[in-house]
C-alpha cells in the first residue's frame, strides 16, 4: 500500500491516478487494436508521479510560461502521455476514441504540432535531452525557475547524441534539468542490456557528473522520493532518475506473456484487461 | 591481389598533372577568400550580428568549437554571456539551439558546412525544421573553399539541405551581402541555413548598389548572348568572366540567386524566357542537386526550352591542394568559366 501523497491537496491518490492512466491507455489500445501498451502500463506509475506530484502546470493553459516543461523523447510512448494528460485534464477524455486515427490530435507517435501539452516532436531518438539542454539554458536566461523534465528510454541511451547532451548539461551546470529514464530493458530487437546498456546505469551518469538515482519505477513511494530528492538536491548539476519498470505492469496475463517491443494483444483481450484493472481499482 | 585490384587501388594515388608554372601550397584552413586583389571587409557576419544584438536581446550565438573559424568570435567577445561554446558536439549544439528557440530566443549556430549538413542533419530536420523554429545555421567552408579534401569540402551541402521542408537556404556572394543577409535572416520567422565566407571577405556588390532581399533573384548586369544564373562567390566569378567575355564581343547578363530555397521561380523563368540567350548556371557546389539542377527543373516545369549549361563541381570527391589550382582544375575560376562559355558558343 503506497503512502505517497498527491500535490495541491487533492484527495485522489497517486495509485488511483496511475490506475486511470493505465485505463485510458488500454481504452486507446482497444480502439486501434494495437499500441505500445506494454510501455504505457509499465511507465504509468512514473507518469502519475510526474503529473500529480511533481510538475507545475495549468491544465487549461498548456503553454503557461511558468510551467515545468515535460519533454517526451520517445514518441511511441505518446499513448502513455496522452493517457496521463487526459487524466490531468489537459486533453479531453472524449478524444480517446480518436487515438491514431485520421485527423486525431493524438497520433501514434507524439508530435508538438498535433497535441496540446506535447512540448516536442519525439520519435527520432536521441533528440530530447539535447533540446532539454537548450530549454534549460533558455529558462536560466529568462530567470524562470521552472524545471525541464525529459523522459527517455533505455534504448535511447544507445544514441551518441544523448551523451553529447549528458556532457553539455554538466558543463552548463543545469540544475533545472531532470532526466527520467524508463528502463524496461526492452528495445525493438530485444533486451537493451544485450545491446549497449549492460553496465550499472546510474553509475555511468554519476561518472559524467549527474546527480543520479535508480529506483523501482513501479514502487510509487520510491518514485515520489526520487522526484522529491531530484528537485531538492542542492548541487549545481543536472539530475537523472533511472526508473526500472516492468512492461505490462498491472495486467498479470500480459505481464506473463513473452515481452516484446510491441506486445501483441488479441481483440477480445482488451476487455479482459480492462476488467482486471477495474477489479483492482484503488481508492 | 590481382593486377586489376592493384591498379584500381593505386589509381587514386597517380600524381595529378602539375599545373603550368609554379606549384602553390595548400593554405591553412582559416585562409580567407581574399586573394583576388579586391577591397575586402573583415568578418562581416560577426560584425553584423554584434550590431543587431545591441537592439535584440533574443539573439544568442552557439558554436561547436569553431567560433574563430566562423567569425562568431566577434559576437562572443562583444556578448560573452549570450555566447554558448557547445564543444565538439554538433548534435547537442543544434538540439540546444532548438530548445533556446522554443524559449523565445533567436539562436545563430555555427560550424562548418560539412558538419552541419552531414552530421547534424537529423537534428536540424526534426528538432528545428519540422517545428519551424527560428534557428539560423550559419556555416563556413561551403563548397570548394578549402584545400583540405573531402572531410572539409562541403561540395554537396545544398543537395542535402534542399530536401528539408521549411528550410530557407542562402548562398551569399560577398561581404556586402553577408552583412545584409545576416540581418534579414534574423528577422525571418523560420529556420535558415546560410553559407558563409569568413575572414577578409571581398566587397564586390557594393559597386552595384545591391540590396539583398530574401527569396529574390536580382539582375546585376544585362546581356544579349549569355545569361549567367549564379549564387555564392560564383557570382563574383561570373561578373569577372562577363568582363573578359565582353572584350571578346560576348554580351553576358548575370542573374544573382542568393536564396537557393525557396527559389525565385518568377524571376528565373522571366529572365530565361528572353529569347536568344544561352543560360549558364554557376555554383560553388556539385552539379548534382544544387542551384543548377534546381534551375533546370524550374525551367522544365515552366515549359521554357533554352540552351542550358551548368558550371559546378563534379559529382566526385575532390582533390586536396591550393584553392586557385583546384578552382582552375574543377572549372570554377574566372578563366575556366570564360573558357567554358566560349567553347559553348
Instruction: State the DSSP string of B243-281.
Output: HHHHHTT--EEEEE--EEES--HHHHHHHHHSTT-EEEE
What pTM value is reported for the model?
0.94
Domain co-membership, B297 together with B337:
yes
Split at pLDDT 50, 70, 90, the class of B17 is low
**Which set of grid coordinates corresponds to residue B286?**
556539385
Q: Which CATH number fits domain A14-279: 3.90.190.20, 3.40.920.10, 3.40.50.720, 3.40.50.970?
A: 3.40.50.970
Counting one residue from A and one from B, how many pairs have CB atoms under 8 Å apart? 97
Residue entry with cell 515552366: B302
Q: Is residue B233 part of a domain?
A: yes
Phi, psi (rounded to 5 degrees) for B257: -125, 80
Q: What is the pLDDT of residues A43-97, one digit of tens each?
A: 999 999 999 999 999 999 999 999 999 999 999 999 999 999 999 999 999 999 9
Domain co-membership, B327 together with B260:
yes
Percentage of chain B with pLDDT > 90?
87
Q: Is residue B25 part of a domain?
A: no
Domain co-membership, B198 together with B226:
no
Q: Is residue B44 part of a domain?
A: yes
Q: Is the pLDDT of residue B33 over 70?
A: no
Q: Is residue B5 part of a domain?
A: no
Q: Is the pLDDT of residue B78 over 90?
A: yes
Q: What is the pLDDT of residues A89-112, one digit of tens each?
A: 999 999 999 999 999 999 999 999
Q: Is the pLDDT of residue B55 over 80?
A: yes
pLDDT at B19: 54
pLDDT at B35: 52
Domain co-membership, B266 together with B234:
yes
Domain co-membership, B248 together with B174:
no
- Contact residues, A window 86-125, toward B, CB-based 8 Å cutoff: 111-113, 119-121, 123-124
Question: In chain B, what residues touch A131 (CB-CB under 8 Å)?
Answer: 95-96, 98-99, 102, 127
Question: In chain A, what residues touch B60 (CB-CB under 8 Å)?
Answer: 141
Split at pLDDT 50, 70, 90, the class of A262 is confident
Q: What ranges do the domains of chain A cover?
A: 14-279
Question: In chain B, what residues touch A168 (CB-CB under 8 Å)?
Answer: 86-87, 89, 92, 96
Structurally, how many domains does chain B consist of?
2
Split at pLDDT 50, 70, 90, the class of B8 is very low
Percentage of chain A with pLDDT > 90?
84
Of B138, B172, B202, the one marking the end of a domain is B202
Domain co-membership, B158 together with B255:
no
Q: Do A131 and B84 touch (CB under 8 A)?
A: no
Domain co-membership, B87 together with B194:
yes
Of B149, B181, B202, the one marking the end of a domain is B202
Give the residue-averaged pLDDT of B229-253. 97
Interchain contact B252–A (C-beta under 8 A): no
**Which set of grid coordinates corresponds to residue B210?**
545591391
Instruction: Pick A130's closest partner by Cβ from B84, B91, B130.
Output: B91
Domain co-membership, B315 together with B247:
yes
- In B23-105 the beta strands, taken as DSSP E runs, fall at 40-42, 59-63, 83-85
* Contact between residue A130 and residue A141 where contact means Cβ atoms under 8 Å apart: no
Q: Do A142 and B103 touch (CB under 8 A)?
A: yes
Question: In chain B, what residues touch A126 (CB-CB under 8 Å)?
Answer: 91
Interchain contact A170–B (C-beta under 8 A): no
Interchain contact A135–B (C-beta under 8 A): yes
Q: What is the pLDDT of residues B154-164, one digit of tens each?
A: 999 999 999 99
Average pLDDT, chain B: 92
Phi, psi (rounded to 5 degrees) for A245: -120, 160
Residue entry with cell 510509487: A220
Q: Give the single-character DSSP code of B33.
A: S
Domain co-membership, B131 together with B58:
yes
Domain co-membership, B252 together with B339:
yes
Q: Is residue B228 part of a domain?
A: yes
Percentage of chain B with pLDDT > 70?
90
Domain range holding B262?
A: 215-344
pLDDT at A264: 85
ipTM of the complex: 0.94
Q: Do B92 and A164 touch (CB under 8 A)?
A: yes
Alpha-carbon gap, residue B66 to B199, rounded angstroms: 13
Å from B61 to nearest chain A CA? 12
Compare B31 and B327 and report the one with higher pLDDT.
Answer: B327
CATH number at residue B66: 3.40.50.970
Q: What is the pLDDT of residues A178-235, one digit of tens each?
A: 999 999 999 988 899 989 878 899 999 999 999 999 999 999 999 999 999 999 999 9
Interchain contact B89–A (C-beta under 8 A): yes
Give the residue-averaged pLDDT of B18-32. 62
Alpha-carbon gap, residue A250 to A218, rounded angstroms: 10
Question: In chain A, what residues touch B102 (CB-CB under 8 Å)?
Answer: 119-120, 131, 134-135, 138
Average pLDDT, chain A: 94
Classify burial at B270, counting beta carbons within 10 Å of its beta carbon; exposed 0-12, middle 13-18, buried 19 or more: middle
Å from B265 to nearest chain A CA? 30
CATH number at residue B258: 3.40.50.920
Domain co-membership, B176 together with B120:
yes
Q: Is residue B22 part of a domain?
A: no
Amino acid at each position: 500500500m503506497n503512502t505517497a501523497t498527491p500535490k495541491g491537496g487533492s484527495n485522489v491518490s497517486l495509485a488511483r491516478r496511475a490506475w486511470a492512466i493505465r485505463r485510458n491507455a488500454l481504452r486507446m489500445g482497444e480502439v486501434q487494436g494495437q499500441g505500445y501498451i506494454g510501455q504505457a502500463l509499465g511507465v504509468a506509475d512514473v507518469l502519475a508521479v510526474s503529473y500529480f506530484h511533481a510538475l507545475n502546470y495549468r491544465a487549461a493553459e498548456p503553454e503557461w510560461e511558468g510551467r515545468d516543461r515535460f519533454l517526451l523523447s520517445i514518441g511511441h510512448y505518446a499513448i502513455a502521455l496522452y493517457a496521463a494528460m487526459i487524466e490531468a485534464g489537459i486533453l479531453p477524455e472524449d478524444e480517446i476514441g480518436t487515438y491514431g486515427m485520421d485527423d486525431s490530435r493524438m497520433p501514434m507517435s507524439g508530435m508538438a504540432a498535433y497535441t496540446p501539452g506535447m512540448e516536442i516532436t519525439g520519435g527520432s531518438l536521441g533528440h530530447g535531452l539535447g533540446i532539454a539542454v537548450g530549454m534549460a539554458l533558455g529558462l536560466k536566461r529568462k530567470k524562470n525557475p521552472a524545471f525541464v523534465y525529459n523522459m527517455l528510454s533505455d534504448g535511447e541511451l544507445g544514441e551518441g547524441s544523448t551523451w553529447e547532451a549528458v556532457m553539455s548539461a554538466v558543463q552548463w551546470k543545469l540544475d533545472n534539468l531532470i532526466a527520467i529514464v524508463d528502463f524496461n530493458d526492452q528495445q525493438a530487437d530485444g533486451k537493451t542490456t544485450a545491446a549497449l546498456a549492460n553496465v550499472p546505469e546510474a553509475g555511468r551518469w554519476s561518472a559524467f557528473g549527474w546527480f543520479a538515482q535508480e529506483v523501482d519505477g513501479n514502487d510509487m513511494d520510491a518514485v515520489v522520493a526520487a522526484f522529491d530528492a531530484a528537485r531538492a538536491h542542492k548541487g549545481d548539476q543536472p539530475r537523472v532518475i533511472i526508473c526500472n519498470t516492468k512492461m505490462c505492469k498491472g495486467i498479470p496475463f500480459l505481464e506473463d506473456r513473452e515481452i516484446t517491443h510491441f506486445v501483441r494483444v488479441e481483440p477480445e483481450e482488451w476487455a479482459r484487461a480492462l476488467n482486471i484493472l477495474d477489479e483492482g481499482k484503488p481508492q | 591481389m590481382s593486377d586489376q585490384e592493384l591498379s584500381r587501388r593505386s589509381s587514386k594515388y597517380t600524381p595529378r598533372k602539375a599545373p603550368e608554372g609554379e606549384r602553390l601550397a595548400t593554405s591553412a584552413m582559416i585562409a580567407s577568400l581574399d586573394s583576388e586583389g579586391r577591397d575586402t571587409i573583415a568578418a562581416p557576419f560577426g560584425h553584423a550580428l554584434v550590431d543587431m544584438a545591441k537592439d535584440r536581446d533574443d539573439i544568442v550565438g552557439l558554436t561547436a568549437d569553431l567560433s574563430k573559424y566562423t567569425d562568431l568570435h566577434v559576437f562572443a567577445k562583444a556578448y560573452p554571456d549570450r555566447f554558448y561554446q557547445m564543444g565538439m558536439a554538433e548534435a547537442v549544439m543544434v538540439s540546444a539551439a532548438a530548445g533556446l528557440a522554443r524559449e523565445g530566443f533567436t539562436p545563430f549556430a555555427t560550424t562548418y558546412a560539412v558538419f552541419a549538413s552531414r552530421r547534424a542533419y537529423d537534428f536540424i530536420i526534426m528538432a528545428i525544421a519540422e517545428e519551424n523554429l527560428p534557428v539560423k545555421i550559419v556555416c563556413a567552408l561551403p563548397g570548394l573553399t578549402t584545400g583540405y579534401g573531402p572531410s572539409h569540402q562541403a561540395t554537396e551541402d545544398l543537395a542535402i539541405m534542399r530536401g528539408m521542408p521549411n528550410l530557407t537556404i542562402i548562398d551569399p556572394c560577398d561581404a556586402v551581402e553577408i552583412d545584409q543577409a545576416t540581418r534579414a535572416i534574423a528577422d525571418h520567422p523560420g529556420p535558415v541555413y546560410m553559407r558563409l565566407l569568413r575572414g577578409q571577405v571581398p566587397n564586390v556588390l557594393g559597386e552595384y548598389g545591391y540590396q539583398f532581399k530574401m527569396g529574390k533573384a536580382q539582375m546585376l548586369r544585362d546581356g544579349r548572348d549569355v545569361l549567367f544564373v549564379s549564387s555564392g562567390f560564383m557570382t563574383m566569378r561570373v561578373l569577372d568572366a562577363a568582363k573578359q567575355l565582353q572584350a571578346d564581343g560576348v554580351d553576358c547578363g548575370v542573374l544573382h540567386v542568393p536564396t537557393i530555397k525557396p527559389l525565385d521561380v518568377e524571376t528565373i523563368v522571366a529572365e530565361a524566357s528572353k529569347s536568344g540567350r544561352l543560360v549558364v548556371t554557376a555554383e560553388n557546389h556539385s552539379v548534382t542537386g544544387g542551384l543548377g539542377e534546381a534551375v533546370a527543373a524550374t525551367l522544365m516545369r515552366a515549359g521554357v526550352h533554352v540552351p542550358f549549361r551548368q558550371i559546378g563541381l563534379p559529382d566526385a570527391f575532390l582533390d586536396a591542394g591550393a584553392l586557385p589550382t583546384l578552382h582552375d582544375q574543377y572549372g570554377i575560376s574566372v578563366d575556366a568559366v570564360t573558357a567554358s562559355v566560349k567553347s559553348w558558343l
